[in-house]
C-alpha cells in the first residue's frame, strides 16, 4: 500500500511539473519541461527534510565547522531523496521476494523493522552489506504503515515467527529505524525477551517527536511527546540488551535526545541525519558484532611432559635415603 501511495505522489509531481513546464512555454516562449521536472523533483524532496530541520532542530548548525555541517546537510537531503524517490516507490524492483532463510547457521538472524511511512526498501544498502558478510536478514514491510503501533507489533510477530521457523535459531536480533524501534519495543513489551539476543534502534523517538502532531494515523498520535501510549511503553526498560543510535542533527526527532533510551548503550552521530544515519559505518559494525555467533572456547593444549600420574595406592612410595650425620 505504501508503495502505491509513493508512486501516486510521484505521478502527481510529474503532472505538476508538466503543467508548470507548459506554463513556462506559454509565458517565456521556450520548452522548459525537463528543467521544471528536475526542479520540482529536487525542490520538493529537498524542501521536506530542510523544512523539518528548520521546524524541529533549532541550533543544529552550530555543532560542527561550516564545511562539515553543510556537507552533512547535503548528505541527509540526498539520502532522503534517494529513499522516497528511488528506493521505496519501487520496492519490488530493489527488494525481490525474500528467499526462505537457511537453517543451521551459527550467526543470529537479523530482523529489520522500518519506520513511519517506510517500507523494507529503506534497508536496501544495509541488508545487502549484512548479507555479503554472511548474515541472514529479514526486512519487514507493514500492510498499512499508518496503523496503531500495537497492531504493527502483531504484524511483526508474524515475521519473527517465520524467521524462527525457517532458521531454527534460538535467538534473533531486532533492529528498528525511527518508529520501527517503537514497534520492536512494543513487541518486546508483549512477548518478553525470550529468544531475542538484543535490540538496536536507529533514530527512534523513544520520548516522542514534536513533528508527530503533523503525522496522520494513530501511530502519529502515539509518537507525540505527551502520548499516554509512549508513557506506558517507557514505564519499563527493554527486557534485552539494547543499543540506541541517535543524532544531534536529526531533522525529524526533536529534541534530539528523544532518541536516547534509558538503560541502553548508545552511540551519538552528530553529523548524520534521520536517514543518513542508516549509512553510518558504526551501525554496520554494531550489527555484525551483535549478531555474530559466540566464539568457541578452546582449552589450552597440554604438553605430554607436563602430565604426571599420581601414584596409586598399590604402589609403595619410596622414602628418600636418610642422610648420615658425621661426628664432629
Q: What is the pLDDT of residues 259-302, one digit of tens each?
A: 999 999 999 998 888 999 999 999 999 999 999 976 444 444 44
- For residue 7, cis peptide bond before it (omega within 30 degrees of 0): no
Q: How far apart are CA 73 and CA 121, in angstroms?
A: 22
Of residues 92 and 121, more confidence is placed in 121
Q: How far apart are CA 201 and CA 267, in angstroms?
A: 10
Q: What is the mean pLDDT of the chain?
A: 79
> pLDDT at position 3, please?
55
* 154-202 tens-digit pLDDT: 999 999 999 999 999 999 999 999 999 999 999 999 999 999 999 999 9
Burial 73-84 (b: 16+ CB within 10 A, else e): bebbbebbbbbb
With bands split at pLDDT 50, 70 and 90, how would you rate the model's confidence at 50? low
- The arithmetic mean of pLDDT across residues 2-25, rounded, is 55
Is the pTM higher than 0.75? yes
Between 48-52, 74-78, 92-96, 255-259, the lowest mean confidence (pLDDT) is in: 48-52
Question: In sequence order, what are the residues at sequence separation of 6 or more whose Cβ sits closer than 8 angstroms to the Cβ of residue 290?
Answer: 108, 173, 197, 198, 200, 243
**β-sheet bridge partners, residue 202:** 177, 245
CB of 266 closer than 8 Å to CB of 74? no
- The arithmetic mean of pLDDT across residues 28-57, rounded, is 52
**What three-state secondary structure class fits 302?**
coil
> pLDDT at position 317, please?
45
- The arithmetic mean of pLDDT across residues 311-324, rounded, is 48
Cell 527488494 identifies what position? 95
Q: What angle do CA 123, 125, 127 make, to 5 degrees?
A: 60
**β-sheet bridge partners, residue 245:** 202, 267
Cα-flanking dihedrals φ and ψ of residue 287, to 5°? Answer: -65, -40
CA 178 to chain centre: 8
Q: What is the DSSP letter of 30?
A: S
- The arithmetic mean of pLDDT across residues 58-80, rounded, is 68
Q: How far apart are CA 233 and CA 206, in angstroms?
A: 9
Domains and CATH numbers, the chain: 2-91 (no CATH), 93-291 (3.40.50.1820)
Cell of 1: 500500500
CA 322 to chain centre: 78
- Among 77, 71, 112, 117, CA closest to 95: 112
Side-chain half-sphere CA neighbours of 201 within 13 A: 31
> pLDDT at position 96, please?
75
Q: How far apart are CA 241 and CA 261, in angstroms?
A: 11
Share of the chain above pLDDT 90, in %: 49
Query: CA 219, 224, 225, 227: dihedral to nearest 10 degrees?
Result: -60
Amino acid at each position: 500500500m505504501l508503495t502505491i501511495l509513493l508512486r501516486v505522489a510521484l505521478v502527481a509531481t510529474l503532472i505538476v511539473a508538466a503543467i508548470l513546464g507548459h506554463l513556462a512555454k506559454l509565458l517565456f516562449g521556450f520548452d522548459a519541461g525537463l528543467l521544471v521536472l528536475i526542479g520540482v523533483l529536487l525542490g520538493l524532496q529537498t524542501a521536506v527534510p530542510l523544512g523539518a530541520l528548520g521546524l524541529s532542530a533549532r541550533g543544529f548548525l552550530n555543532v560542527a565547522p561550516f564545511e562539515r555541517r553543510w556537507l552533512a546537510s547535503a548528505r541527509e537531503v540526498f539520502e532522503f531523496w534517494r529513499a522516497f524517490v528511488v528506493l521505496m516507490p519501487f520496492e519490488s524492483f530493489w527488494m525481490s521476494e525474500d528467499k526462505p532463510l537457511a537453517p543451521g547457521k551459527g550467526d543470529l538472524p537479523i530482523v529489520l523493522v522500518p519506520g513511519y511511512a517506510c517500507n523494507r526498501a529503506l534497508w536496501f544498502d544495509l541488508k545487502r552489506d549484512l548479507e555479503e558478510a554472511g548474515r541472514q536478514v529479514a526486512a519487514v514491510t507493514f500492510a498499512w504503515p499508518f496503523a496503531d503501533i500495537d497492531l504493527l507489533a502483531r504484524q511483526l510477530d508474524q515475521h519473527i515467527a517465520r524467521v524462527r521457523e525457517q532458521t531454527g535459531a534460538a535467538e534473533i536480533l531486532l533492529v528498528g529505524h525511527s518508529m520501527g524501534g517503537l514497534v520492536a519495543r512494543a513487541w518486546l513489551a508483549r512477548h518478553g525477551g525470550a529468544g531475542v539476543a538484543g535490540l538496536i534502534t536507529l533514530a527512534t523517538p523513544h520520548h516522542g517527536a514534536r513533528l508527530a502532531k503533523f503525522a496522520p494515523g494513530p501511530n502519529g498520535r502515539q509518537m507525540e511527546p505527551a502520548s499516554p501510549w509512549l508513557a506506558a511503553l517507557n514505564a519499563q526498560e527493554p527486557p534485552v540488551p539494547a543499543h540506541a543510535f541517535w543524532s544531534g542533527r536529526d531533522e525529524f526527532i526533536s529534541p534530539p535526545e528523544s532518541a536516547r533510551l534509558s538503560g541502553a548503550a548508545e552511540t551519538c552521530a552528530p553529523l548524520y541525519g534521520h536517514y543518513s544515519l542508516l549509512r553510518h559505518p558504526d551501525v554496520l559494525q554494531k550489527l555484525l558484532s551483535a549478531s555474530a555467533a559466540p566464539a568457541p572456547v578452546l582449552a589450552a593444549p597440554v604438553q605430554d611432559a607436563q602430565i604426571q600420574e599420581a601414584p596409586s595406592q598399590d604402589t609403595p612410595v619410596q622414602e628418600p635415603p636418610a642422610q648420615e650425620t658425621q661426628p664432629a
